[in-house]
Structure 1
Amino acid sequence: MTTDLAAVLDGARVMPVLTVRDPATAGPLADALAEGGARCAEVTFRTPAAERALKAMATHGGLAVGAGTVLSAEQAQRAVAAGARFVVSPGYDEEVVAACRELDVPVVPGIATATELMRALRAGLTTVKLFPAEASGGLRTLRALAAPFPGARFVPTGGIGPGQLAGYLADPAVLAVGGSWLATPAHLDSGDYQEVRRLTAEAVEVGAP
């Protein structure tokens, strides 16, 4: 494995952030995302079905699947065992970071302040998740944080929609953008994979070079 998230994403700029309540939806969801042009996805550990959904989606050859909302070292271990190729946390937790290093997978801790960013950089991490991005000030905050830390890369997530996507992607400090609007629990509950495919294709087009 590699601990470099950029290498895992391999140029992908849009990261669907998924809350999956029924593991049976994982296969059709992975198909819809891939057909829309997505090449990565984050399955959040917010539901009892998350681990099984991640395992099912990780077998889909077209997607690099990671685990999100990872709050403990034990969750990180379970996620990687299920096939996660990267781990995302809403905050900075030393035990989660240490576990991911031991597991040799990229870890992306959430930060919202310069102090948190400095902790992550001091730990040797270069990519962080700005979270919650829009509630924390959005692109203005991201640019303010990036200015004194030119080596940092950001994956802004939280409250971002299609209207903000292009602005974030245009910033050179942004590696990728996480978005939950691409495949919501409502889409999955209703089986509206066509809409997931459409929204994904629109977002991927915005992020295309």
Structure 2
Amino acid sequence: MTIEDILKAAPVMPVIVIEDLTHAVPLAKALVAGGLRVLEVTLRTPVAIDAVRSIAESVPDAIVGVGTLTHSEQFAKVIDAGAKFAVSPGLTPALAKASAQYDLPFLPGVFTPGEAMQARDAGFNHLKLFPAKQAGGIGMLKAMASPFPELTFCPTGGISAESFRDYLALPNVACVGGSWVAPSTLMRGGDWDGITELAREACR
């Protein structure tokens, strides 16, 4: 499976922050039940790697990956945990080299046209615009479409239930990343049906 396949698998990629490991599997099942199979578990908590492993083992219909990958040595760890792809807020030479070495579908982040050109020259045509809102949002993506017709984006950061459809309407946007479909309040309350409904609404 390529990063292009992954980005086309669902309109929204939930950006998940898991603080409690017991939430990982029921959260993944709830999102998959609502139609969102591609899950980005951010490496921002102590249990993140274990959460990826639990989802990979227990929710076979999920395409689980990791976000906030910022160091090249993390590639081996996340692959061992069962991650199917990785997302980074930026791109460094070390990350590009590790991506090729480990053959893990990789979505690097960019913020400016110059960074987009550097990523393209490093072999990446599918990019994460991050943080999308601060980078100019829809206006920035429209501006980048003409000089970079070969690039496709997954904007993440500041995207909400109210704005994500406007992003998806752009021809150079494959999907969007967002945390609104997996809010911490519903996770803490164990409202998995509520999360499934948020996922269904995102798929509509």
TM-score (norm 2): 0.95
Partner of 2:155: 156
Identity %: 42
Instruction: Supply the distance in 1 between the matched residues of 2:51 and 2:141 (Cα, whole angstroms).
Output: 31
1:12 to 10, 28, 40: 10
Query: Which stretches in structure 1 are left out of the alignment for 5+ residues?
Result: none
Conserved? CA contact 2:18–2:45, under 8 Å: yes
Q: Deviations over 1:123-176 (max 9, x none)?
A: 011001000011221111111122200000100000100111111111111111
Q: Which of structure 1's runs of 4+ aligned residues deviate more than 4 A?
A: none
TM-score by length of structure 1 reads: 0.93
How big is the alpha-carbon RMSD for the aligned residues of Structure 1 and Structure 2? 1.2
Query: Is the CA contact (8 Å cut-off) linking 2:31 and 2:196 kept in structure 1?
Result: yes
Amino acid at match of 2:186: H
**Corresponding letter in the other structure for 1:150:** P
Partner of 2:91: 92
Change (3 A) 1:155 1:10: closer
Unaligned runs of 5+ in 2: none
TM superposition shift of 1:184: 2.0
Residue aligning to 2:45: 47
Give the Cα–Cα distance (whole angstroms) in 1 for the partners of residues 97 and 183 of structure 2.
Answer: 31
**In 1, Cα distance between equivalents of 2:15 and 2:147:** 28
Alignment of 1:46-195 (within 5 A): 46-59=44-57, 60-195=59-194
Residue from 19, 23, 26 that aligns with 2:24: 26
Deviation at 1:10, TM superposition (A): 4.8
Query: What is the rounded CA distance, in whole Å, between the counterparts of 1:58 and 1:160 in structure 2?
Result: 27
Read off the aligned partner of 1:168 and give its amino acid letter: Y
